[in-house]
Amino acid sequence: MLALGKLLDLTLAGHEPAAKVQLTSEGARLRWLAEGVLEVTPPADADSGLDLLLSAGVHGNETAPIELLDRLLQDIARGALKPRARLLFLFGNPEAMRRGERYIEQDINRLFNGKHEQTSGFEALRAGELERLAANFFSKAERTRLHYDLHTAIRGSKIEQFALYPWAEGRAHSTHELARLYAAGIEAVLLQSKASITFSSYTYARLGAEAFTLELGKARPFGQNQVVSLDRLDARLRSLISGTEPDVAKSLDGLQLFAVAREVIKRSDEFKLHVPADIENFSELPQGYLLAEDIAGMRWVVEEEGARLIFPNPKVKNGLRAAILVVPGSLPA
């Protein structure tokens, strides 16, 4: 197997490879671009026209998707998976991966779309580097652009595998892409309705890619992800990479769609979130429930029918989102 196929090992060891470019026996080119970042270019006569960015490890302790990308890349490097798409494999926060931490100083996934320019530190620098790498990768005209940013959640979930679909002015959410996600094992999609500061929001709004944040179960240490079944996603990614993707159903029957009702923003150190510490994502909350309180008598009371809670985290920094209330949603007619 080509040495560059061991990108995860190189990243965890903090080693820069001596050979930055290698070719598979079929002529696909592997090129090391930066720590944790590898570009794969198929032979010109086999190129499907797809540019596929696969990122994981933006939060360093979310190991299941990191291991998934490692398996895909190793199979490409040994010739078992023959790429017809241009690929960018990207491990987002190498230092956090080495330490087994979500992040070191700042959450990288809150530093895109200009936010990294408003702060300092190595994670802010890394966010800027990731933007540049993605922009360079998606700079070729007349190609299909697709980005999956793979994560696992801090907590368990009533819906284990779900996606967040970013928003941009003037763009409609794609039924085809939603059907593709459903075929890959994604059970629910949150359709966002305003700009965000995540990696997938950057590639969607700024670079014109179809882009998604995929939540793939609960975060666990390396080697402890046997309970997370990513077989359907693995199969779909392999078919995208190899240019053998089967047709997806035109119907979205069975896929649950949600819309953001409200975001709960933490304003001060007095913020209190009134839910159990082990509450699962997509837990339902009754109307009238006092969800959170903050300074100056600020209160969040559940008003929406069928409201569910995702990403509750009272430990975020002041000014950041501490929870999202979602409700059943649908695509515009």
Count of other CB atoms within 10 angstroms of residue 21: 12
Query: How far apart, in whole angstroms, are the C-alpha atoms of residue 288 and residue 285?
Result: 9
CB-based contacts of 260, cutoff 8 Å, min separation 6: 190, 192, 193, 194, 324, 325, 326
Question: Which is catalytic among the residues 62, 215, 245, 280?
Answer: 215
CB-based contacts of 327, cutoff 8 Å, min separation 6: 258, 259, 261, 304, 305, 306, 307, 308
Q: CB-side exposure of 68: number of CA atoms within 13 Å?
A: 28
Instruction: Return the structure tokens found at 171.
Output: 């763009």
Tokens 């080509």 correspond to 2
**How close are the terminal C-alpha atoms of the chain, in Å?**
50
Query: How far apart, in whole angstroms, are the C-alpha atoms of residue 192 and residue 261?
Result: 10
CB-based contacts of 40, cutoff 8 Å, min separation 6: 28, 29, 30, 31, 73, 76, 83, 86, 87, 88, 89
Query: How far apart, in whole angstroms, are the C-alpha atoms of residue 284 and residue 21?
Result: 51
Asked if 160 is an active-site residue, the reply is no
> Which of 320, 300, 285 lies closest to 119, judged by CA?
320
What phi-psi label fits residue 306: left (phi over 0), alpha (psi between -120 and 50 degrees) or beta? left
Rg (CA), the chain: 20
Active-site annotation, residues: 215
